[in-house]
Structures are given as structure tokens and as C-alpha cells.
Chain A
Amino acid sequence: MAIKIHDYFARYRSRSILFVTLIQLVAAALAGGFLWLVWQQNSDGALNFAITVAATVAAINLVFTPIIWWAVNHPTRTLTQAIAHISKDPVVTPPPKLSASDERTGLKALVQTVYELAIATNPKTADQTVGTNAGAVKPTAASDFFQTVADLTPCGIIVINKQGTITYANTAAPTSPTPSGSRGIDLIFEQNNSLGAWLSDARANKVRDTHQWFRVGDKLPGEPDRRIFDIIGYYQKNDASDIEVVLVTFDRTAVYINDQEDMDFIALAAHELRGPITVIRGYLDVFNQELAPKLTADEHMLLERLQVSAERLAGYVNNILNVSRYDRHQFTLHPQEESLPSLIQSIGPDLMLRAKTQNRSLVFKVSNDLPTIAADSSSLGEVITNLVDNAIKYSHDGGQITVGATPKENWVEITVQDQGIGMPSNIVGNLFTRFYRSHHSRQQVGGTGLGLYICKTIVDAHGGSIWVRSVEGQGTTFGFTMPTYASVADRLQSGNNSTKGIVRRPEGWIKNHAMYRN
């Protein structure tokens, strides 16, 4: 119990005493005042009468106050003791003592009901039932009653014991029987936010813990009758009890389906935005080819700025689309054997131009003999572009940004380093959260706060990890890992026959008929 019941009662008691004392003082003051007034009148008959009245009031006060006090205090204390006893409050452990008079007043019946309710929700309490004076309280129909109530609620309730077995699940809970005869939970948690992960963390580090999950489906997207839940989990370390975890699930399918329509709207809006972007980028490209030789250096710079801005605009739209696809669980990767140097070759010129127009120098230190990686080239290009964009944003005029890559066992680590403003360590942990913008960025730089979030999403989806190291005033390095193709080749090939002969590019895919039709 988070609140100590005994403490609560002690507060109640001291307040009650204060309150009764106050009433007595007021009564005494009134009586005294009355006496004083009559005394001033100087009339013997009236004085005698007044003394009688005052004495009677005092007597009534003296006799009835303790009676009233006892009548209120006793049942409250008894109930408090009972609840403290059931919940094993450390201060009050013995059960309340009940007398014959309590049976007459009905207090005993009340206390028994409290114990029955406790037994219905936690059968273990039955072992330590109320003291002898009150008589044994036995489990009753109350447990059936609560079973019925639990089955009537639209919330799912799942109780799991220390062994990980489901010991109770009501009707609404998304569970189903397993072949071994026990019950299993029909929920598809995300890999890095699973029930198991939370539980092992809680077991290792916590005495109690609460965790929430949102948008957890019981089937994969696209399967019929899919339901989507929000879930709250309670964990309590309890060696004696059979209850280690209680999950409460809320069926939010109706709400999230509407959400899905909103997301479709985002996809549609992004599609609309891409129309004009296509035209702007395209004609700028035409301009660049046809006019470049005739332009002055200054005009040429303006044209480049236009080009870079159009590219960044296209990048933002891609970020929004990616997030909307990810949120709808429609974010799928098509990893293939890719060579990082050739990807850099394809996106490098655009990035160089971006850096150049914003007066930064961009250096690629990517060796040609790196092992090939298993990556979705379009998504990987977006990660590198977002990180470089970020480095440009948060570095100084004239600064250098270095993109490097080093092989590390089964991974290739790609880093993007700047010598910019850096950031304090306390904000580093939040960087990969959606819409998170650092203290600097809110004041000085624009942006949607989606870039790093989508980077993390893409890297996670490849099985890699992303990190950041930063020193305020000295610069920031972002790094992430991609699996080498050799380390995952067998897995990729087994599931990917349909895409054989497909050449993926940052802008889409093309069939290679030389491979495809043979």
C-alpha cells in the first residue's frame, strides 16, 4: 500500500479530537458569556437559573462527548485495523478485536464483509482471517459475484503468477487456450517494448512498477477482426502471492480505426505535396543543365539554393510519410545486399550541395573495401540524409561534417560527426523521441522533430542500433550500425524469392530483366 493506512487513521483521529475540542470550547465560551451577561444584570433569581442552565450544558457536554466520540471513533478504528490487517500495513498488523456489542450494532457484519471482499479478490487472505473474537470468516459467494462482475466489464483483466502462468483472465481479456492446456495472451507486442522485456526489467530492478502500452494488436495488420488495445500492467514483487502481474486491457479498436483514416489523410496530403515538389525539382534540374554555363557565380549560387531547398522539402515529406506508415504498422523494409560506397556515391552529390550552399564542408571517409551490408537502400539513404541535415543545422558557419564508416564484426558502423554547438548530456536521452526538439533547437533552428525519430525507426527495423555522443560546445557524433550482408544472408534469401532480380534505388525499384526473366 502506497499510503500507510495507520497514518491515515492517526490523521483522522487527531483531526476529530481537534474538532470535538473546538466544539466544546465554543460551547463553554457561550455558556460563560451567558453567565457573565446575567451577572451584570445583578438579579439573584436570574443568576440561579443561569447557573443551572450552564451546569446542565456542562454535564451534558461531559457525559455525551465521550459517548459520541466512542460511537464514531470505535467503528472507524476497527475498520481501519481490518483494512490495515488485510493489506499488511506494517504499523497495524493485528486484526481488530470485536465484542458482543459490535455484533448487535452490525459492526461485526461490516468487518466480515470487508474480509469477504478481500478473500474474493485475493484467496491468500483466507489464511490470515480475522482474530478469534470476530469468528472465522469463510469464503462465500462473493468470489463468484466478482467473477461475474469481472466478466461483465469491457476491460480485460489478466493475472500472471511468478512462473509466468496466467492464473486468471476474464472474458474480455485477449487470451486463448494453448495446446498445453494453459492460457496464452493474444497480443503482438513490439519487439523492443514487449511484455517480457518489461517484466524482466521489473523483476531485476523494481519492487513495484506500472507500464503502459498503446496500440497493441491481437493480430497482424490486415488480418480480419483485428482488435487494437491499450494496456496497463502492474507488477509487484511478492514472493508469497500468486499474483505478480495484473494486466488491464482496453479495447480501443474503434478509436484507432478512425486514427488510421487520419493517417490515410496524411499519406494523401503528402502525395498532393509531392506533385508541386516534382515540378519544382524537375524544372530546377532542367534550368541547371540549360542555364548553368550562362549564369554568373552569384546567380548560380541562387539556383543551387533553390535546388537544395526543394530537396529538403522532398525529404521532409518523406519523413512525414515514413512516420505515418510506421504508426500504421505499414512500415516495411526491403533489405538487400548493398554497397555503402555506391549508396554514398548516389546520394553524396546532393548532400555535398546541401552542405556547400549552407557554407559547411562535407567529407566522406568511406573506404571502398567495406563489407556489403543488408539494407533497404532508400531508407538507409534517408537516415544518412537526416543525420547530415541535422549536423548542418547544429554546426557553425564554415564547420566540417565527416561521414565515416568502420566494420565491426557483423556490423558496419556509420558515423556522422560535426564540430557544432553540441548539447548537454541531460537531453541526449530524449533525442530520438518523436517531435522532441532540444533547448537550442526551439530557440534557434526550425524543424519538425521527426528526423531523428525516423532514423531510429529505420535503424531499429534493420536490427541495428543508433547512438549519439555529444560535448556541449565541441560537437556531436551520431552513429548507427547496419548488419553486414554476410551475417544475415541466409535469412534474407529464404524469405525473399519474390524480389529476386529487383534493383532497389533510393527513388524506388526497377526489375533487372537480365536476371529476372531467366
Chain B
Amino acid sequence: MAIPVKTILLIEDDPFISDMYARSLRKAGYQVDLISNGEDGAKTALAKQYDLILLDILLPEKQGSEVLKILRGDKDLVPNSRVLVLTNFSQDDESRQAMQSKADGYLIKADITPRKLIEIIQSLK
């Protein structure tokens, strides 16, 4: 059964990319917040407990991997959120790191059009 996603936090420093996804996600009816650095991203994610967090890896202030460690390090501080790493790094090291840091998925941005992203969100189980 698909899980219902209503609120989404997009942590992404490239304004074009974040606008691109946000535009389509909002149009599809999701409530989307945008944060452009890791430090604020982690704080906001903890404070507001989103249904879904989309997390870039290369971020100012704090890398995406560090944000993941804060959220899901020793203890899962966002138990009701799904965290999808959304990055253009496809090295296996990064992928393994994301898995070890307990992300819920790892997607290559260049291959994820807004439409595909919505499909994936709708199919989350």
C-alpha cells in the first residue's frame, strides 16, 4: 500500500533545480518547503517532521551525508519521514554511505524528471 505523502522538505542548493522540482510537486498538490543549506535543512527537518525529505549530497554548511547522520545517526529522529537522497553523484561509495546512514532511497537527479519524481513518491511503500 502506498503511504500518503503530503509535506515535503527539499534540501537543495541549486535554485534552478529546487524551483524545478518544487513547481511540479506543488502543482501535484504537495506542500513543499525549500532549504538551500545542510545546517538549516537538518534543523527544519527535525522541527517540522515532514512526510518526505529530499536531500542533496553536495551542500553548503553541512554535507548531505552529515545531515543524514544527524537525522538518523544513533537514533532515528525523523521516524515518520522518508529520506530520499537526490544527487548527481553516482559513485558506489556515496550510494553505500547513504544506505549505511539509513536513507530510504538514492536517486540520480539527472535521470529524475519532476514527473518521474512524482511517480516515485506516489509509489512509496
Contacts and interface: CB of A to CB of B under 8 A. Distances in A.
Interface of A: 267, 271, 274-275, 277-279, 281-286, 289, 314, 317-318, 321, 325, 330, 332, 505-515
B114 A275 contact: no
Contact of A282 (B91, B106, B114): B114
A282 B125 contact: no
Contacts of A325: 91-92
B88 A271 contact: yes
Interface string B66-108: 0000000000000000101000111111010000000011111
B17 A508 contact: no
12 contacts: A271-B88, A275-B14, A279-B14, A279-B17, A282-B17, A286-B20, A321-B90, A325-B91, A330-B92, A508-B112, A510-B104, A513-B3
Chain B residues touching A, range = 35 or more
B113 interface: yes
Contact of A275 (B88, B111, B113, B124): B88
B115 interface: yes
A317 B110 contact: yes
A289 B105 contact: no
A275 B17 contact: yes
A352 B120 CA distance: 22
Interface of B: 1, 3, 14, 16-17, 20-21, 23-24, 58, 82, 84, 88-93, 95, 104-116, 120, 124-125
A283 B104 contact: no
Given A507-B108, A509-B105, A267 B91 contact: yes
Contact of A330 (B21, B91, B106, B125): B91
Contacts of B14: 275, 279
Contact of B109 (A278, A283, A289, A321): A278
A231 to B, nearest CB: 27
Nearest 6 A/B pairs, CB to CB: A274-B88, A510-B105, A508-B107, A285-B113, A274-B110, A507-B111
A281 B1 contact: no
Given A330-B91, A332-B92, A274 B113 contact: no
Nearest to A276: B16
Contacts of B106: 508-509
Nearest to A321: B90
A289 to B, nearest CB: 7
Contact of A508 (B58, B108, B124): B108
Contacts of B107: 507-508, 510
A309 B20 CA distance: 19
Contacts of A289: 24, 115
Contacts of B3: 513
A321 B110 CA distance: 13
Contacts of B82: 513
Contacts of B116: 507
A372 to B, nearest CB: 20
Nearest to A311: B111
Contacts of B89: 267, 271
Nearest to B57: A271
B120 A278 contact: no
Nearest to A330: B92
Contacts of A514: 1, 125
Contact of A510 (B84, B90, B111, B113): B84
A283 B88 contact: no
B113 A282 contact: yes
A509 B124 CA distance: 11
A289 B23 CA distance: 12
A509 B125 CA distance: 13
Contacts of B115: 285, 289
A456 B66 CA distance: 37
Contacts of A274: 88, 108-110
Contacts of B16: 279
Nearest to A288: B115
Contact of B120 (A267, A284, A510): A510
B89 to A, nearest CB: 6
A201 to B, nearest CB: 33
Question: Which of A278, A281, A286 is the most central at the interface, judged by chain B CB atoms within 10 Å of its CB?
Answer: A278
Given A285-B114, A508-B95, A511-B104, 5 more contacts: A279-B16, A286-B23, A507-B107, A508-B105, A508-B111
A11 to B, nearest CB: 60
A282 B23 CA distance: 11
B68 to A, nearest CB: 14
A282 B114 CA distance: 6
Given A279-B17, A282-B21, A283-B20, A511 B88 contact: no
Nearest to A511: B104
Nearest to B86: A508
Contacts of A330: 91-93
Nearest to B120: A510
A512 B107 CA distance: 14
B124 to A, nearest CB: 7
A283 B115 CA distance: 10
